[in-house]
Structure 1
Amino acid sequence: MGDIFTGELVTRFLGILLIDLILSGDNAVVIALAVRNLEGRTRRRAIFWGAFGAIALRLLFAGVVTYLLLVPLLPAVAALLLIWVAWKLLFQGEEEDHGEVEAGQSIWQAVRIIIVADVIMSLDNVVALVGVADGNLWLILFGILITIPLIIYGARILSSLMDRLPWLVYLGSGVLVFVAYEMFVGDPIVHEYLEGTVFVLYERIIAVLLAALFMGVGYLRARQMRAAPPKTG
């Protein structure tokens, strides 16, 4: 058992829990908006089938992304995408607006809205999940399956949790930056080019420092944005 539950595996497991917790909030909000005109049993069925379709597509995306990350240079590209996801995560409250999400007038219309919205929103989530899992298929499967209760029941809970514990968002963005650096340096072509340099020899230390720097810059910018007077006109 000790060989199975290694320290690195447990760390990645906890990282997936954290990333899922933070990144599932938007999907939960989209579901709530898509079914807002439905009632009772019809609403519950729309939520179930919409979430079912979204999860099935995430499994497909995860398989494709895992395969693509075996291609040289694509892990480096995915690492840059993770940096963007981490930055967006820090400022999603200021930048994202779900008010334009259409409300379904029937169960299957709502299901279509949920699935289409999730496809648009979930690609970066899947890349983050695959990156944190480091290609471990069991961790990827766990990460996708655990999103089911989070996106079905979690909108109100997740938004409340993020308000009460905002440091979780900063920690999550730091995890993504850490993983992004490891993924970038681990790319076969990049690794061959940087082999023997400080960027590889002190990979973990540099990854931690970059994550801390990213969280610090994000925190300072967030404070500056909150302190800025509101725009008029």
Structure 2
Amino acid sequence: MFASLSDPTLWVALFQIIIINVLLSGDNAVIIALACRSLPPKEQRNAFLIGTVAIVILMTALTSVASILLTIPYVEMVGAVLLLWIGIKLLLPENEDENVSASENFWGAVKTIIIADIVMSLDNVLGMAGAAKGHMGLLFVGMVITIPLILFGSAMLMKLMERFPIIVTIGAGLLGYVAGEMAVEDPALKGHLANAHYLEIALPILGAAIVVIVGKMLAAKHAAASSSTTVPTEG
């Protein structure tokens, strides 16, 4: 524990937390940008803020139990499956049904941001927890400081996505890759990989491939179904 605000170790720990969070916020920025890319500009900003603030609060709480969670078999494998589904879903076209309100789209984006980031951050928070040395207030302050960096990165990615749609596919593939990495680290599977190190490389690549291939196939099927329903019938 740190003695006071004048304790230099406190400021060193805060600096470490900020650096760790900045280095690990790349995939956070990707998921925020992917989830919000179809919202109107005003709702994008609101989703950014609500989603990011919720992440900071939940990650602060999660840090206290992350070390325990990661020792439970199948927790990371369940998270990996969830990330695969989120990655595939992000490649699907937005629901254009008139009955789907803007509010539902907005809160759907916020929910995606929170779920994906919390799942992806399970093992990331351990590094920050180690730097905080059990000081939850310090961890919270460190993450709050990095919010503008995450938001700035997300905003830049969304602009790039508008110009280069391939980035959406790359971002979704990244989620699949992270899902594969999580599965490899699960205690239930890790023991079986001791003599099969190639799987530690193959599973993340497989995860990325599953997201991109399945996502593209479902998107094409959705597009074909949409076009067939809009073709006028001859009377």
Class of the TM-score when normalised by the shorter of the 2 chains? 0.5 to 0.7
For structure 1, list consecutive stretches of 5 or more residues without a partner in the other structure: 1-11, 37-46, 103-112
Does residue 204 (structure 1) correspond to residue 201 (structure 2)? The answer is yes
Partners of 2:40 and 2:55 in 1: CA distance: 14
Partners of 1:181 and 1:220 in 2: CA distance: 20
Query: Which position in structure 1 is the counterpart of 2:102?
Result: 99
Shift of 1:122: 0.9
2:42 is aligned with what amino acid? Answer: A
Does residue 136 (structure 1) correspond to residue 146 (structure 2)? The answer is no
Q: Deviations over 1:50-93 (max 9, x none)?
A: 678535424335426734233222111111111122112222x4
1:137 is aligned with what amino acid? Answer: M
RMSD: 4.7
Query: Which position in structure 1 is the counterpart of 2:161?
Result: 162
TM-score, normalisation: structure 1: 0.58
Shift of 1:218: 2.6
> Residues 86 and 174 of structure 1 are in contact (CA less than 8 Å); yes or no, is this contact kept in structure 2?
yes
> Residues 173 and 212 of structure 2 are in contact (CA less than 8 Å); yes or no, is this contact kept in structure 1?
yes
Query: Which position in structure 2 is the counterpart of 1:231?
Result: 229
> Residues 73 and 187 of structure 1 are in contact (CA less than 8 Å); yes or no, is this contact kept in structure 2?
yes
Aligned residues with identical type, % of pairs? 24
Shift of 1:99: 0.4
Partners of 2:70 and 2:152 in 1: CA distance: 30
Q: Deviations over 1:205-233 (max 9, x none)?
A: 34224423432343344345445515249
Q: Who wins on radius of gyration, i.e. which is larger?
A: 2
2:32 is aligned with what amino acid? Answer: L
Query: Which position in structure 2 is the counterpart of 1:3?
Result: none
Query: Which position in structure 2 is the counterpart of 1:70?
Result: 71
Q: Deviations over 1:153-177 (max 9, x none)?
A: 966x654432212222222222222
Give runs of aligned pairs for residues 1-233 of structure 1, distance below 5 A: 16-24=25-33, 26=35, 29=39, 32-33=42-43, 53-54=53-54, 56-60=56-60, 62-63=62-63, 66-67=66-67, 68-91=69-92, 93-95=93-95, 99-100=102-103, 118=110, 121-130=113-122, 133=124, 135-137=126-128, 146-148=146-148, 151=151, 159-192=158-191, 194-195=192-193, 198=196, 200-226=197-223, 228=225, 229=227, 231-232=229-230
For structure 2, list consecutive stretches of 5 or more residues without a partner in the other structure: 1-20, 132-138
